Structure 1
Amino acid sequence: MTSIALATAADLPGLVDDDASFLAALRERGVTAEPVVWSDESVDWDGFDAVVVRSIWDYYRRPAAYAAWVDRLSDADCAVWNPTATLDWNSHKFYLRDLADAGVSTLPTEYVERGDDVSLEAVFERRGWDELVVKPAVSAGAFETRQLSRAEAAAAQPWVDDLVAEKDVLVQEFAPDIEDGEWSLVFFGDEFSHAVVKRPEPGDYRVQEKHGGSVHVEVPSETLLDNARRVVDAVSAHLGGDPPLYARVDGVERGDDFYLLEVELIEPELFFRTDDDAGDRLAEALLARL
């Protein structure tokens, strides 16, 4: 019988509720599927046929432990999805530069390496921006992320200096489009599954539900779907393999173009609760690869 570990965080030992339909779909197909805490060093990953990374939502707070775990999975005698090379690449947001170089539309961004000098006032002047967002390259859920106006640059400079002293950082032009909604388009392999639009609370830019954001089921246009597919294709081309088992393409529409904010390949919420068949689709895509 096929045995699959669904990697999760210590404070989510039973996975998140949203993944329940995927877990049920695997078990209905005769698969032994169980949540397993990624940071539990006693786990023998060789004892599973496959590991599917799901709700490891604390990984960015423990980057050294996460890197060591990915190395363990690389050496383990089991399949891993998404593959460890993908997990490694996608954990650091400088991957956006790779996709931009491949022709994917991304927000104008300055990539600041740890220890470099960066002046917010100089960035505003050079770029001509009115607002920007500062975020660590290893982060999730708006962790250590701030939206700043030109008038706030001087007061925020000490915070930025402290951040850059410890971490690689992205300084991005603020996208006001996000107030109208951020698309999340979910793909299993190279097949589109379903989509939602996440909207922030009025006056905020953070779309996560823990920050007051809301999720709405909407149907993307064919133009939007084509743009999202190009992101998945660019990921596959860059990594030199099959399409990711799962990918969540997040971004905003501007006319006929789509600006990528993130492509989530590690532990994205896949919004199974918004589509009754999504869990079955991912289960079938997974078993087809075993």
Structure 2
Amino acid sequence: MAHTQNTLGIITGSHAPELSDDAHHLTAVLTERGVSIEPVRWDDPTVQWDNYDGILFRSCWEYPTNLERFRSLLTELEQAGVPVCNPLAAVQWNMHKSYLVDLAEAGIRLPATTVIDAGSNLSLGEVLDRHGWDEAVMKPGIGSFSRDVTRVSRETLDNADTQFQNLLNTGDVVVQQFVPEITEGNGPLCSLTRPTVMPGIA
């Protein structure tokens, strides 16, 4: 009986439509196991998701610019019944940064976090007062690429509150206590592994 090769669709986006270098390593490994890989744009409404044997979310980073389409994608994947490497419920949960509050409530150590609902009448100063913070970081509830992520302090409240109100006009805002340790020793991480000895060398 002939073996039909399975196909894994890797979801990409306009910012990075092709597979990255590390994804090519994945391609090589899966090809050896009879699985082909195909990059698929998440914002392409013509894709037939049930043509794939599995789906892996990879580089759909610009989804905040088209939330309606991204939510439609999740619905399409659910209806297609195709296995998704990341559970769709987890993808949905991860879209909004309120997951930071969920993680903190689960016992994960994080900077103190609060979510201000869209349209709130609170000022940024009132948020700082309520939590006793002198410095904070504010960001859109749904966002990527660090867009509109701003470090604020009581000294910068006048300008920062204007941005805060603008963000509230378009969606929820996440505000976190600023942790000064983030500025100390910030640098690249290096992971060391034991080198592989080629057969016949040692």
Normalising TM by the smaller chain, what interval? 0.7 to 0.9
Equivalenced residues, count: 192
1:215 aligned to which of 179, 183, 188: 188
1:84 aligned to which of 82, 88, 96: 88
Matched, 1:120 2:93: no
In the other structure, the counterpart of 2:49 is 45
In the other structure, the counterpart of 1:141 is 145
Give runs of aligned pairs for residues 144-163 of structure 1, distance below 5 A.
144-163=148-167
Post-superposition shift, 1:276? 9.9
Query: Partners of 1:108 and 1:11 in 2: how far apart?
Result: 32
RMSD (CA atoms): 2.2
- Return the structure number with greater strand share: 1
Q: What amino acid does structure 2 have at the position aligned with 1:125? A: D
Structure 2 residue runs of 5 or longer lacking an equivalent are 197-202
Q: What amino acid does structure 2 have at the position aligned with 1:131? A: E
Q: Which has the larger radius of gyration?
A: 2
Q: Which has the higher contact order (CA 8 A, sep 6+)?
A: 1
Query: Partners of 2:175 and 2:105 in 1: how far apart?
Result: 17
In the other structure, the counterpart of 1:204 is none
- Identity, in percent, stands at 35
Query: Partners of 2:152 and 2:27 in 1: how far apart?
Result: 41
Matched, 1:108 2:81: no
Matched, 1:172 2:176: yes
Post-superposition shift, 1:218? 4.3
Query: Partners of 1:276 and 1:5 in 2: how far apart?
Result: 32
Post-superposition shift, 1:12? 2.1
8 Å Cα contact 2:27/2:36 also seen in 1: no
1:14 aligned to which of 3, 18, 25: 18
- The TM-score normalised by the length of structure 2 is 0.86
8 Å Cα contact 1:4/1:32 also seen in 2: yes
Worse-superposed segment, 126-135 or 85-94: 126-135
Q: What amino acid does structure 2 have at the position aligned with 1:116? A: S
1:2 aligned to which of 2, 6, 31: 6
